[in-house]
Amino acid sequence: MPIVLIGPMGAGKSRVGQRLASAVDAPFIDTDVRITERYGPIDEIFAREGEEYFRIIEREIVADALREESVISLGGGAVLHPETQADLEDLPVVWLQVSAEAVAPRLSGSTRPLLAEGGIGAWKAILESRRPVYEALADLRIDTSRRSVARIVEEITEWFGGAR
C-alpha cells in the first residue's frame, strides 16, 4: 500500500518523502518531478497552458502514482481533484503542516507559479482555501515547522507500523 504525503507548498513533502521512503525501504515518487520529467518545468506549463490544464495532467500522473507501492509526495494542489480525493479515502494519508513563519524562508527563490505574485500572502490564502480538504483527507498530521526531518520520519513510521 502506498503512503501519501499531502500539504501546502513548502511543508517538506519532498524532503520528508525521500527520507521516509528509505526508512521503509520503498520507492519514492514526487508527482511534481514526474510532471516535470514528462511535460517540462511546472512554471512553464502554467504560463503556456494555464492551471486548469496543469490539474488535468497532474491528475493523470497522480492516478498512476497511487497504484504503486511507494511513498508518494503530492503537489500541494493535487488534492483538489475529486477523483484524487476519492482515491485517498482508502489510503494512509499524512498531512504535513507548517507555519507561515517557518515556510517563508523555505519559499524564497521558489519558482512556484501560484506564489509568483502574492508571495507569503498568497500562500496563506491558498492554505486557508484548501484546509477543509486537507482536514478531511488526513489520517495523521504533523507540524514540520520545528521538527527535524529525522523526527518527522520517526513519527510517521511509528504511526504506520501501528496502523498497518
Q: Which span sits near ligand S3P by CB under 6 A: 96-104, 106-114, 143-151, 153-161?
A: 106-114
Using CB under 6 A as the binding rule, whether residue 77 contacts ligand S3P is answered as yes
Query: Is 81 in a helix, a strand, or coil?
Result: coil
Task: Burial-class residue 156 by CB neighbours within 10 Å (0-12, 13-18, 19+).
Answer: buried
CA angle (140 as vertex; 144, 118 as ends), nearest 5: 45
Nearer to ligand S3P, 3 or 42 (CB): 42
- Per CB under 6 A, which of residues 42..61 are in contact with ligand S3P? 42
DSSP at 150: H
Helix pair 119-137, 100-107: axis angle to 10 deg? 120
One of 3, 4, 5, 9 touching ligand S3P (CB under 6 A): 9
Nearer to ligand S3P, 99 or 158 (CB): 99
* Chain residues that interact with ligand S3P, rule: CB under 6 A: 9, 13, 32, 42, 75-77, 112-114
